[in-house]
Amino acid sequence: MNETQLAFRVFMDMVEIGLGMSREEMGIFENVIQLLCRDGKVQDARNLVRKVIAFGMEPSNLVLDAIASGYCDKKDYDDFLSFFVEMNCAPDVVVGNKIIFSLCRNFGTERANLFMQELEHLGFIADEITFGILIAWSCREGKLKNAFVYLSEVLSRSHKPDIRSYNALISGVFKEGMWKHAREFLHEMDDKGISPNMLTFRVLLAGYCKARQFDEVAVIVGEMVDRGLIQLSSLDDPLSKAFKILGLNPLAVKVKRDNNLGFPKTEFYDNLGNGLFLETDLDEYEKVVTGVLQDSIIPDFNSLLIQECGHGNFKAALVMVDEMARWGQELSSPVFTALVKGLGASHCCIKGIASLLEKMPKLTDQLDQETLNFLVQALNKRGITHKARLLFDGMLQKRLKIKNETYTALITGFCKEGNLRGLLDCWKLAQADKWLPDLKGYKVIMGYLCQQGILKEALGLFESMLVAYPHIRLDICHDFLEKLCGTGFTSTSHVLMEELLKQGYVLDHMAHSHLIRGFCKERDFSKAFMVFDSMLAKNLAPCLDASLLLIPQLCRAGKFEKAVALKEGWLKKQ
């Protein structure tokens, strides 16, 4: 029995006996629904919702969205509709747009429109994006008349059309050979306060290039300059600039005047009536301009997100994820992976990861071992420890390999939180995997272990570190001695140092100074004097702060000569 089946049965039993119905336990209910829908068990999820509703609880949007996504994946739209009829409610606009987009993609706009009308009978409120989806797919299908009907519907409902809808319409007009009407959309957009973006102008450039209206191309380039979208020097050729914007090689595309009287090459005419022709690879040219027009009809948010991530624009990417959801589209697994890894590496958007992981459990479950290790580390370092541990638990259930750095991030996180139980639980797992921290993590962990008096584990870690990192043994010793002395275990530190000396370790003045500080802090001055005497025998001098602690005590003990010598030794160094 897997975790989904187990969770389903346990929660069903809870419902049967009247448990699990409080507001506090709604989170459990939502998680079970998401698990069921993730595994394709939408009918089980629906049955569970029925049980919960019988107790007077209303399903949350999260539950509705999970079931809607499940039905979308199965292309089971009739059951989707019957579900909302049974619930006597309408989906919110994000869920509704998801189903409309899915219907358009799989069965066309006519069925999608009929389905939307049925949803509206349930109380669904379509927005400008709902109609934008219908507009875009109508343009893709070549049903330009229907697209204009949907645009009229947007305006009649006092919505402001989305810029992506205008981009689709402009592209649709060009595809139908109606290039003379393309500029009307620019005027309408300006009237409505909708600023054309770079994509709008790329569509216009591609459309006019396809129609061989190169005078218009030059005008559009000028408008782009006026709006600050591009720069054009007095030496730059507007047509070459346009070709470059479209992804064509300006050197490989030439618009030439036909001066051949014998065998005319004229393909089209300019505004002055001059015969012109294109000197280029026409197949490649048509492929590029047609591709721009086609790609601009339906926004491909996954491709757009990859571009934003590639440019490091993670704040813009997060905004686009929300916009993507409104357009009824879903992140692909590779794009989701790229996005969360990019967010994890950034210093400004780390909190966006936790939100994404929570909203998209299905995609989170598909993350690979490398990405999960990276995320656990990144979330821990930024203090989002709860989510990091949930990911870690999931990795353990899948028996994925946990990296050394991941264990270190978790254990240091427990130390900083003061979570002793969590530390010890993770410690056992880490030890079984032969884990060792780096020096930075070692210092944090040693400080907490000594503070809590967990010396057995501390000593075991110390010994393992000495073996694993022979080139930094002195640093490892210094840190352990310092942490012991700073937490009331100076006598233990003293015994440890003596043992290290017997084993042939060479410990410098800093190691001895830790002991002097510790004994002075514990007011065991006789032992501090013993350490000092051993230093003198080795021709070592304590650090300045240790000396300042020691000098008054030497004076009180009548050891004036040693006190004066210690003081003068430091004065000579100044």
Confidence of residue 536 (pLDDT cuts 50, 70, 90): confident
- Average pLDDT on 376-401 reads 92
- Average pLDDT on 337-349 reads 86
Query: Angle of helix 490-502 relative to helix 473-486, nearest 10 degrees?
Result: 150
What is the torsion angle, in degrees rounded to the nearest 10, for the CA atoms of residue 259, residue 260, residue 266 and residue 270? 10
For residue 542, pLDDT beyond 60: yes
pLDDT value for 254: 81
- For 191, half-sphere exposure in the C-beta direction (CA atoms, 13 angstrom radius) is 7
% of the chain beyond a pLDDT of 90 = 59
Per-residue pLDDT tens digits for 469-513: 999 999 999 999 999 999 999 999 999 999 999 998 888 889 999
Per-residue pLDDT tens digits for 348-377: 777 788 888 888 888 998 999 999 999 999
For residue 69, pLDDT beyond 90: no
Q: Which residues contact 412 (CB under 8 A, 6 or more apart)?
A: 380, 437, 441, 444, 445
The closest alpha carbon to 450, from 409, 488, 422, belongs to 488
pLDDT value for 24: 64
**Window from 97-101, 272-276, 311-315 with minimum mean pLDDT:** 272-276
Rounded to the nearest integer, the mean pLDDT of the chain is 88
pLDDT value for 410: 96
- Average pLDDT on 298-319 reads 92
pLDDT value for 37: 87
- Average pLDDT on 516-544 reads 88
For residue 261, pLDDT beyond 60: no
pLDDT value for 263: 47
- Average pLDDT on 434-449 reads 95
CA angle 317/322/325 to nearest 5° reads 120
pLDDT value for 7: 64
For residue 574, pLDDT beyond 60: no
Whose tokens are 């002195």? That residue is 474
Give the CA radius of gyration of the chain.
Answer: 36
Per-residue pLDDT tens digits for 22-57: 666 677 788 888 888 888 889 989 988 888 887 777
pLDDT value for 554: 82
| DSSP run (H or E) holding 88 | none
How far, CA to CA in Å, does 528 sit from each of 181, 440, 514, 551? 93, 29, 10, 11
**Window from 145-149, 190-194, 338-342, 541-545 with minimum mean pLDDT:** 541-545
pLDDT value for 573: 63
Helix ranges (H only) for 192-332 are 198-210, 214-226, 238-246, 282-295, 301-310, 314-326
- Average pLDDT on 207-225 reads 93
pLDDT value for 20: 54
pLDDT value for 450: 95
